[in-house]
Amino acid sequence: MDMIVLHGGASARPELKDRVKKYAEIAFEKETALEAVVEAVRLMEDDPLFNAGTGSNIRIDGSIQMDAAVMVPGDFGGVINIEKVKNPVLVARDVMLHSPHLILAGDGAVQFARKMGYEEYDPYTEMRREKREKTIRKLKNGEIPEYYHPEFFKEFLGDTVGAVAYINGEFAAAVSTGGTILTLRGRVGDSPIVGSGIYCDSHGAVVATGIGEEIIRRTASIRLYMNMLHSSVEDACDSMIEEFNDIPVGFIAINEEAACAKSNLSMPSAIIKR
């Protein structure tokens, strides 16, 4: 049975669910798992309602730095703090397929993107500008919730994107994020870190979303994957979420038999099987 699972971020924005489902249906038409997850994430990167690609969050200093990664059994490609490209996930795929490296960061990632033919692109949107200005006003007034508080996550993070697929006997995973508003330039979250925000091997694929620092501390994706080897996908997701207590987190996971999308917040997601 072929399957694809998408998420639109561990956030309380259920209105995004229809968009995620639409993009899952489009991506599921691709012939390979890698093509499907990359297409799914690309579609969400192009939608300014998600915090990835166009519509990425603006950092404290006013810059936009994006992370993305793709993974298949035995290989990986990622970009960290890439700027001024439209689709970081496409660049991450090309790092895997067309470079001798696994990860490129900062200016090096941008230079690689230009050499691969990706033109300069401005991902800023008026919605994100207004969000940053509102955040700075609240910060100055002492109105920002604690970093790990669910209300902080709902308002200032959220809406990153990811996909996992099992098609024609092959697994693949992809993820992309515009980071968070209240971070220093150069901050890296869990998304492009193998075993934390993404993991894929011969028995399944996992993608995480939530408070990146906590996901990294727990190497959440690879541990969830390992748990899937001796329990159901759903039980493995539930067990990992329990470890986070009230810290916002969500997972999509898949193996040869089942798929799940779970979060301790309202995570827009879609699961399609055939």
User: How is 94-125 classified by DSSP, letter by letter?
Assistant: HHHHHSS-SEEEHHHHHHHHHHTTPPP-----
Q: Which residue has the higher pLDDT, 11 or 199?
A: 199
Cα separation, 37 vs 200, whole angstroms: 12
Q: In a 3-state reduction of DSSP, which class is residue 40? A: helix
Per-residue model confidence (pLDDT) at position 152: 62
The residues near 56 (Cβ < 8 Å, ≥ 6 apart) are: 64, 66, 123, 128, 177, 178, 179
Q: Is 220 left (phi over 0), alpha (psi -120 to 50) or beta?
A: alpha
Residue 224 has pLDDT above 90, yes or no: yes
Per-residue model confidence (pLDDT) at position 78: 98
Residue 5 has pLDDT above 70, yes or no: yes
| Active-site residue set | 160
The answer to whether the predicted template modeling score (pTM) of the entire model surpasses 0.85 is yes
Query: Tens digits of per-residue pLDDT, 131-145?
Result: 888 877 877 777 766
Per-residue model confidence (pLDDT) at position 159: 61
Query: Tens digits of per-residue pLDDT, 148-191?
Result: 555 665 565 556 899 999 999 999 999 999 988 878 899 999 99
Per-residue model confidence (pLDDT) at position 148: 54
Query: Tens digits of per-residue pLDDT, 40-88?
Result: 999 999 999 999 999 899 988 889 999 999 999 999 999 999 999 999 9
* Structure-derived torsion over alpha carbons of residues 35, 41, 46, 51, reported in degrees to the nearest 10: -170
Give percent of the chain above pLDDT 70.
93
User: How is 118-179 classified by DSSP, letter by letter?
Assistant: PPP-----HHHHHHHHHHHHHHHTT-PPPTTSHHHHHHHS---EEEEEEETTEEEEEEEE--
Cα separation, 55 vs 38, whole angstroms: 18
Backbone angles phi, psi at 260, to 5 degrees: -150, 160
Distances (CA, A) of 192 to 84, 101, 168: 18, 14, 26
Average model confidence (pLDDT) across the chain:
92
**Average confidence (pLDDT) over 213-230:** 97
**Average confidence (pLDDT) over 28-49:** 97
The residues near 176 (Cβ < 8 Å, ≥ 6 apart) are: 41, 44, 45, 52, 53, 66, 67, 68, 69, 88, 89, 92, 160, 161, 162, 191
Go through the domains of the chain in sequence order and give each one's CATH number: 3-273 (3.60.20.30)
